[in-house]
Chains A and B, each alone.
Chain A
Amino acid sequence: MAQTGRPLSPHIQVYKWQVQMVTSILHRATGIVLAVGSLLLVWGLAAIAAGPEAFATFTDCAGSPLGMIVLVGWTLAFFYHLANGIRHLVQDTGVGYSIPAFVRSSWLSIIVSIVLTVAVWAYVLAGGHA
């Protein structure tokens, strides 16, 4: 690259941390997580089709400590991608592009995804009794 002496953008070392860039990166990261997670969904469906033994293997894996960690991570990735995806769909209509609105909706995506994840897992750990 030509040494022009001018600052590069984004110049990571001096770039001010902003919530909008975090939500953008997270949308991609959670998208990749969900794409991989969808393969586990196929595994679960194939296990139901294959029979009780295969399904028991699947539910044992899902209920193991590692399985629970994966499921919690999957839930958080899902709710984040859902909330931020809806935010993007709304923005595609042309609204919410002022900087304060953009920052507000970015935080909203993060907070909503955490709240929904906590709510779902509170429900699960309470044994399905809301």
Chain B
Amino acid sequence: MSRDLRNPLARARGLGSAKEGVSHWMLQRVTGLGLVFLTVWFVVTVLGLMHSDYATARATLAKPWNAVLLAALLITTFRHAVLGLQVVIEDYVHTRWLEVASLVLIKFIAVLAALAGVLAVLRVALGS
């Protein structure tokens, strides 16, 4: 005899699909596809800058398209990284408080790093 007088459907309601179960999976793929192009562009650009001096590196970064693509690279990279690290933590960290703490921590670090990176790009691009 169940002590809960609510029927099974009432108990399940609100605990199941919120119609967004696929969003993590999809965003991992979309950011991944974006990163295919952004990272290859970045590697080619950095290789072209090899052995160049500070002024050249700064001038390259200051070009509008480079600044835009670099900001896009930073935001996409850290979004993609959080999605990936989240799955690894969920799979391997079995102590619940440690799991939740790690999940929050990677989000804090990723947001701060993305903001710091974008700010650096903007400082150079806007010439301050």
**A-to-B contact residues, CB < 8 Å:** 28, 31-32, 34-35, 38-39, 41-42, 45-46, 48-49, 52, 55-56, 78, 82, 85-86, 88-89, 92, 120, 123-124, 127-128
Does A55 lie within 8 Å of B43, measured CB to CB?
no
| Contact (Cβ within 8 A) B88 A38 | no
Main secondary structure of the interface of A (DSSP, over half): helix
Given A28-B88, A32-B85, A82-B39, are A52 and B54 neighbors across the interface (CB < 8 Å)?
Answer: yes
Choose from A39, A48, A85, A128 the contact partner of B120 (Cβ within 8 Å). A48
* Number of interface residues, chain B, beta carbon within 8 A: 32
Q: Which residues of A contact B35 (CB under 8 A)?
A: 85
Closest A residue, CB atoms, query B128: A49
Q: How far, in Å, is A116 (CB) from chain B's closest CB?
A: 9
- CA A82 to CA B117, docked complex, whole Å: 22
A35 x B117 contact (CB < 8 A) = no
Q: Which residue of A lies closest to B121 (CB)?
A: A45
Whether the Cβ atoms of B47 and A124 lie closer than 8 Å is yes
Contact A85 B61 (CB under 8 A): no
In the complex, the answer to whether A128 meets B58 with C-beta atoms within 8 Å is: no
**B77 is an interface residue with CB less than 8 A from chain A:** yes
Closest to B51 in A: A128
Alpha-carbon separation in the docked complex, A35 to B35 (Å): 13
Tell yes or no: B29 within 8 A of A by CB: yes
A86 and B47 in contact, given A48-B58, A52-B54 (Cβ under 8 angstroms): no
Q: Is B84's beta carbon under 8 Å from chain A? A: yes
Contact A127 B84 (CB under 8 A): no
Q: Name the residue of chain B whose CB is nearest to the CB of A127.
A: B51
